[in-house]
Amino acid sequence: MDTSLAIVTALDFGFSPNKIRQNLLEYRGIEKRFDILQKNDNFILIDDYGHHPTEIKATLKSAKMLAKLKNIDKVIAIWQPHKYSRTKDNLEHFKRCFDGVNQLIILPVWTAGEDTIDIDFQKEFSHYNPIFTDKIETKDGYITFEQNGKKIIIDTGLIVGVGAGDITYQLEVSIPNKLKSNLLGYLMQMLYLLSILQLYHFLFDFYLF
């Protein structure tokens, strides 16, 4: 849908179909690096693609610097391990890359189709006193999750989510299904109207010239 809207808009601004096609082929997207999703005086939420210890360590270093600049005294890391094989092969480095965070939250491993490997995260990361939860839910101004059947809410601090699985979607603000449906319907109607307008412009130009 985003591509269709971009094409229609580009046509409206006078770009030729060949130019649009060339730009689409060359488009490589935006890297998911230190993406600030939410920010207020006491709460900052960041999404980062880092899934290797070196990347995570660099991301957290930047996060600590930002927290200091914003006078936020708590840095929380949410880690979704990416693949059992990577986690096992780099376990010692993973155990050190979260040094300096005030809290570590560990999500289930994003397997990427791999078989399960026995890794005792509770033992290996015990020096962080980590929180384990199956998933997080993001709202406007806070995140929430369950720990041992109890609902936990975090609405202060600088929170960094790292991983290459579906953590990105967990960090997005949850929208009620009804609202999602209404928004989708509205967007479809807008796309339809834009398409009709574009067709009208095309036919008008065709018959005029």
Both 117 and 141 in one domain: the answer is yes
148-200 pLDDT, tens digit each: 899 999 999 999 999 999 999 999 986 554 445 455 555 666 666 666 666 55
**SS3 category, 129:** coil
Both 148 and 46 in one domain: the answer is yes
- Asked whether the beta carbons of 109 and 135 are under 8 A apart, the reply is no
- Torsion, Cα 120 124 128 134, to 10 degrees, reads -20
**Domain contains 183:** no
Both 71 and 50 in one domain: the answer is yes
Residue-range definition of the domain harbouring residue 10: 1-30
Dist CA 55 CA 77 (whole Å): 13
DSSP 132: E
Q: How many domains does the chain have?
A: 2
Both 2 and 73 in one domain: the answer is no
pLDDT of residue 1: 44
**Domain contains 192:** no
Both 15 and 48 in one domain: the answer is no
Both 26 and 80 in one domain: the answer is no
**Domain contains 181:** no
76-109 pLDDT, tens digit each: 999 999 999 999 999 999 999 999 999 999 999 9
Is the pLDDT at 134 greater than 80? The verdict is yes
pLDDT of residue 194: 65
**Domain contains 162:** yes
- Residues 9-38, mean pLDDT to the nearest whole number: 71
Dist CA 49 CA 30 (whole Å): 11
H/E element holding 192? Answer: helix 177-208
**Domain contains 14:** yes
Both 45 and 131 in one domain: the answer is yes
**Domain contains 118:** yes
Both 7 and 78 in one domain: the answer is no
**Domain contains 39:** yes
Both 61 and 9 in one domain: the answer is no
pLDDT of residue 72: 96
Q: Which residues pair with 104 in a beta bridge?
A: 77
Both 17 and 99 in one domain: the answer is no
Both 74 and 103 in one domain: the answer is yes
**Domain contains 200:** no
